[in-house]
Structure 1
């Protein structure tokens, strides 16, 4: 019986290509690149331990940024309870940092921030609760991150701000995943379980790169 060797050869090539290509296709659709939203501008503030912290302290680390204040009566407690979950998910990993910028620096001194850190069981040495000149912190939020903060005597607590977290890579670039329509989500919802899970997954992806 005469064998069709050319057919067998072609089939073998298709099989080999398929084995090589399938993981590539799966990876392409399940692990798309994270969007680059922008670059965090230079900053320098004082943390809960009285230490000056700047961009250079986060270089080479993946970190999460938020804007909050310690006397916030509404969303801040939820945000920081969720941020502690992120901290604990990466317990002992030196490649994760967190930057919590106080929008009420007149009240939130390093001593106040240290007590706040203790009350929330903040243990990651790379989680810095930062205070400094209000004008500079507001400018960093509104112009640097495009995360609105402001003063408003008519709202509870006297300040307005969002509940979003920003994800920053090792080079200081703000990153995010894409939604189902191919648009970057830009920031992660710090108030919702789904947003926190997405954030944890994307931190892992950046750290592994």
Structure 2
């Protein structure tokens, strides 16, 4: 009998898996403006798992590929029918990126903005501190330059709004992200 019990426990734990290198970084509350010009806050994602990126619309280097990679993640969520999985892209150039700019930029990569939120409506100083203090991500806009220097990681956030893990946003481990999202969603 003990053997059967242990076998069932091992089978269940193998199916569920676990998230390797879990971080559990707290994420402060926020309220910004989305690509539709509407207020959007952390609490709007309560009960959802989400992947976050940091981009800006006139980026000449890493932002288009990061956003294309996020669009692929969005398609994977749709294929797997993961309705409680969302994406959030924070502008690191908020004083330039107005909601309408973000919407035009987003539409280059996806035609579905139901579960992908592009955010702006804060100061440059705010996003630099917010990224550093919460995501441990470098963001800096030099004076007299239209390009923003920033890290390229993307981040997994759980239903309670805790940063669980980060991944390379350019060389994306898609299957690992999908695996980790499914664990958080109990799938």
| Global fold match (TM > 0.5) | yes
Which residue pairs with 2:25 in the alignment? 38
SS at match of 1:158: coil
User: Residue 97 in 1 paired to residue 83 in 2?
Assistant: no
Contact 1:148 1:162 in 2 (8 A): yes
Contact 2:66 2:169 in 1 (8 A): yes
Which residue pairs with 1:208 in the alignment? 186
Q: Aligned partners of 2:96, 2:170: CA distance in 1, in Å?
A: 24
TM-score using structure 1 length = 0.78
Aligned residues: 182
Which residue pairs with 2:52 in the alignment? 65
Shift of 1:96: 1.1
* Superposition CA RMSD, Å: 2.2
TM-score using structure 2 length = 0.87
The answer to which structure, 1 or 2, has the higher relative contact order (CA under 8 A, 6+ apart) is: 2
Contact 1:190 1:196 in 2 (8 A): no
Contact 2:60 2:147 in 1 (8 A): no
User: Residue 197 in 1 paired to residue 175 in 2?
Assistant: yes
SS at match of 1:206: helix
CA deviations 1:77-110 (Å, max 9, x no partner) are 1111110111111126430111100011122101
Shift of 1:169: 0.5
Aligned match for 1:83, one of 52, 67, 70: 70
Q: Aligned partners of 2:39, 2:106: CA distance in 1, in Å?
A: 17
Q: Looking at CA atoms only, which structure, 1 or 2, has the larger radius of gyration?
A: 1
Which residue pairs with 1:137 in the alignment? 127
SS at match of 2:37: coil
Where in structure 1 are there 5+ consecutive unaligned residues?
1-15, 177-186
Distance 1:53 1:76, change over 3 A: same
Q: Aligned partners of 1:51, 1:136: CA distance in 2, in Å?
A: 19
Distance 1:56 1:27, change over 3 A: same
* Stretches of 4+ aligned residues off by more than 2 angstroms: 16-20, 22-30, 32-37, 152-155
Contact 2:137 2:151 in 1 (8 A): yes
Q: Aligned partners of 2:111, 2:130: CA distance in 1, in Å?
A: 23
